[in-house]
Amino acid sequence: MELRLRGKCALITGAAQGIGQAVALAFAREGVNVALNDVRADRLDETAARCAAEGVRVAFCAGDVARAADVECFVTQAEEQLGGLDVMVCNAGISERVMLADMSESSWERMIDVNLKGVFLCARAGAVRMARSGGGAIVNLSSIWAKVATSQVAHYAAAKAGVRSLTGSFAYEFGPHNVRVNAVAPGRIATEMVHKVAPEVNETIHRQIPLNDGAFGEPVDVANAVVFLASSAARYITGETLDVNGGWFMD
Ligand SMILES: NC(=O)c1ccc[n+]([C@@H]2O[C@H](COP(=O)([O-])OP(=O)(O)OC[C@H]3O[C@@H](n4cnc5c(N)ncnc54)[C@H](O)[C@@H]3O)[C@@H](O)[C@H]2O)c1
């Protein structure tokens, strides 16, 4: 299978740790130049050093994905510093566990701002540029909770269901411009986001995962799916949301 990614340029949001860091590294290993975004710019050094060690160009793109001015600024920076933009991965996200009855308006707004509006702003900025330059690929991070109802994450789940829907809308409108737009929906992946969750919650989930004795996925498992969707091996795939969940949920 030919990926044809060498020499391309990719911007990854939320690249300081977890899945975003694994995605940046996976691209760097395929010879892709990477622009690294995170709201915690001071924590991008490790990802940058590991990517640079693979011999690719690395650009720093600090900023908050929920702020339109920041997004315009760092997407422009990425394009200028790397000399193009072929791939965008809208990965930055936040989570919080709270029952609906106790969910404040500000909590709801922050979750939708970062996890849904952030994807809209970044994907739009990327897609418009890619359309101008002949095409590209965007991969958004959705979640298993976009498809399965559960408690304590209503705002997060609504945002991630929105990302799934938005992925289709972008795919439809930008398909004629040769921009493919897909999403990945991880189940439980061993990152800081999941380590914050109470052990009893994670224990219940382990029992529902058929693969690998119920083990959670690793960030690289999601990164591999992202690299595939961004590559020319997926050239006829758009508007798709790919589950990466060890069989925890199948539709
Ligand atoms: N870990 C999982 O099990 C899991 C499951 C489903 C979906 N996801 C999704 O995958 C993505 C990555 O998750 P993760 O587990 O690596 O999380 P993480 O918390 O380990 O990393 C998220 C990164 O995003 C950055 N970030 C947060 N808000 C930002 C903002 N406003 N602007 C720019 N950067 C920001 C953080 O600083 C951090 O570096 C998220 O969108 C998450 O919702 C994760």
Q: Is residue 2 in a domain?
A: no
The arithmetic mean of pLDDT across residues 238-248, rounded, is: 98
> What pLDDT does 159 receive?
99
Q: Is the pLDDT of residue 86 over 90?
A: yes
- pTM for the model stands at 0.98
The arithmetic mean of pLDDT across residues 10-31, rounded, is: 98
- Whichever domain contains 171, its CATH number is 3.40.50.720
> What pLDDT does 150 receive?
95
Q: Is residue 161 in a domain?
A: yes
Q: Is residue 156 in a domain?
A: yes
How many other C-beta atoms can be found within 10 angstroms of the C-beta atom of residue 33?
A: 24
Q: Is residue 251 in a domain?
A: no
How many other C-beta atoms can be found within 10 angstroms of the C-beta atom of residue 57?
A: 15
Following CA atoms 66, 71, 73, 77 in sequence, which dihedral angle do they give, to the nearest 10 degrees?
130
Q: What is the pLDDT of residues 139-192, one digit of tens each?
A: 999 999 999 999 999 999 999 999 999 999 999 999 999 999 999 999 999 999
- The count of domains in the chain is 1
Token pair in block for residue 207? 């029992």
* Backbone dihedral region for residue 68 (phi beyond 0: left; psi -120 to 50: alpha; all else: beta): alpha
Mutate to test the pocket of ligand 1, among 47, 65, 91 (most ligand atoms within 8 A of CB): 91
**Which atom of ligand 1 is least distant from the CA of 219?**
16
Q: What is the pLDDT of residues 90-126, one digit of tens each?
A: 999 999 999 999 999 999 999 999 999 999 999 999 9
Q: Is residue 4 in a domain?
A: no
How many other C-beta atoms can be found within 10 angstroms of the C-beta atom of residue 195?
A: 10
> What pLDDT does 48 receive?
98
Per-residue confidence at 84, pLDDT binned at 50, 70, 90?
Answer: very high
Q: What is the pLDDT of residues 206-225, one digit of tens each?
A: 999 999 999 999 999 999 99
Q: Is residue 204 in a domain?
A: yes
Question: What distance in angstroms lies between residue 137's CA and the mean position of ligand 1's atoms?
Answer: 20
> What pLDDT does 170 receive?
99
> What pLDDT does 128 receive?
98
Write the residue with the smallest CA distance to atom 2 of ligand 1. Answer: 189
> How far is the C-alpha of 20 from the C-alpha of 112, rounded, in Å?
19
> What pLDDT does 248 receive?
97
**Which atom of ligand 1 is least distant from the CA of 145?**
6
Residue range of the domain that includes 50: 9-244
Cα three-residue angle 239-169-117, rounded to 5 degrees: 110
Q: Is residue 31 in a domain?
A: yes
Question: What distance in angstroms lies between residue 140's CA and the mean position of ligand 1's atoms?
Answer: 12
Of the residues 145, 156, 174, 248, which is catalytic? 156
Question: What distance in angstroms lies between residue 19's CA and the mean position of ligand 1's atoms?
Answer: 7
Per-residue confidence at 196, pLDDT binned at 50, 70, 90?
Answer: confident
236 as an active site residue: the answer is no
Averaged pLDDT score across all residues of the chain: 97
pLDDT > 90 in the chain, percent: 97
Q: Is residue 1 in a domain?
A: no
**Which atom of ligand 1 is least distant from the CA of 15?**
39
Say if residues 199 and 188 touch (Cβ distance below 8 Å). Answer: no
Say if residues 227 and 5 touch (Cβ distance below 8 Å). Answer: yes
